[in-house]
Amino acid sequence: MGRVAYVNGRFVPHGQAVVHIEDRGYQLADAVYEVWALFGGRMADAAGHFERLERSLSELKIAMPMSRQALTFVLKETVRRNRVREGTVYLQVSRGVAPRDHAFPTAPVRPAVVITVRGLDRAASEARAAKGVTVVTTPENRWGRCDIKTVGLLPNALAKQAAREAGAYEAWFVDDLGFVTEGASSNAWIVDQDGRLRTRDTNANILRGVTRKTLIESMQTEGLMIDERPFTPGDAIAAREAFITGAGSLVLPVIAVDGRPVGDGSVGPVAMRLRNLYIEHAIAGAI
Ligand code: PLP
């Protein structure tokens, strides 16, 4: 018998095991996992891994997909069906399947569960232990590569959810120095007190927004002053206007930050002019 996986209530041949394309684990890394070592087909350190699993799930506000007892049964059954004595059993629990949106689904979804088992050559493992291993060092950059448009979006999803819970549309990330980097799914801008258009430079750890870039080019042709300089949330509140850019939002005026009005708290003329400018540009250049 070949490898068997457990996927959402079913045992299926490993090669045919699939998850839905809108599984939030697949699209947003909105998922957690655990791995138990198997000795003689039994799960080692079982309680420790269950405790961490429950903690990881609760930090993400994902419900345990089933009781610990039921999960133990399913994990052990997957191990048994794979006839693995020495190896590992892998469990992944995602928030579930929902139309793609950074914030959590508003309708209740069932967490999605995947279990796989892998055999291990214990003798090879012992031989490696006898010889010892080497390591290399690497800069701590987890996750310091926001310039890559990766699906590793869990922090963005949590930020967007926090925004939604606060009754806001978007969340702005603020760095260690107190400057806004970008939004959870957009770039952040202000029209400062001197009327300059300010947005974070792309040497910072942000996504190089295509809307941002195109808008900068359009602004230049319009003779507008652009200042790629960081700003704080306080600068935004004191600014004339603020707005966000992105393929989803286009150019969207921001009227309040952390509950405090930006400028006079109304939609400003510059953001709306830029929105129309961008839309014109986008329509003209669309293929
Ligand atoms: N920053 C982040 C983190 C994003 O996810 C996005 C868009 O999804 C943007 C910025 C804006 O990028 P673009 O204008 O290319 O859509």
**Cα 122 to ligand 1 centre (Å):** 46
**Is residue 36 reached through a cis peptide bond, with omega within 30 degrees of 0 on the bond before it?**
no
Residue 258 corresponds to which amino acid?
D
| Distance between CA atoms of residues 177 and 184, nearest Å | 18
3-class SS of residue 117: strand
**pLDDT interval class at 285 (50, 70, 90):** confident
pLDDT in tens, 169-225: 999 999 999 999 999 999 999 999 999 999 999 999 999 999 999 999 999 999 999
Closest protein CA for atom 5 of ligand 1:
185
* Ligand 1 neighbourhood includes 215 CB (under 6 angstroms): no
Its pTM surpasses 0.75:
yes
**Cα 163 to ligand 1 centre (Å):** 16
**Cα 162 to ligand 1 centre (Å):** 18
Q: Which atom of ligand 1 is nearest to the CA of 146?
A: 3
Q: Which domains does the chain carry? A: 4-120 (3.30.470.10), 125-285 (3.20.10.10)
| Distance between CA atoms of residues 10 and 185, nearest Å | 35
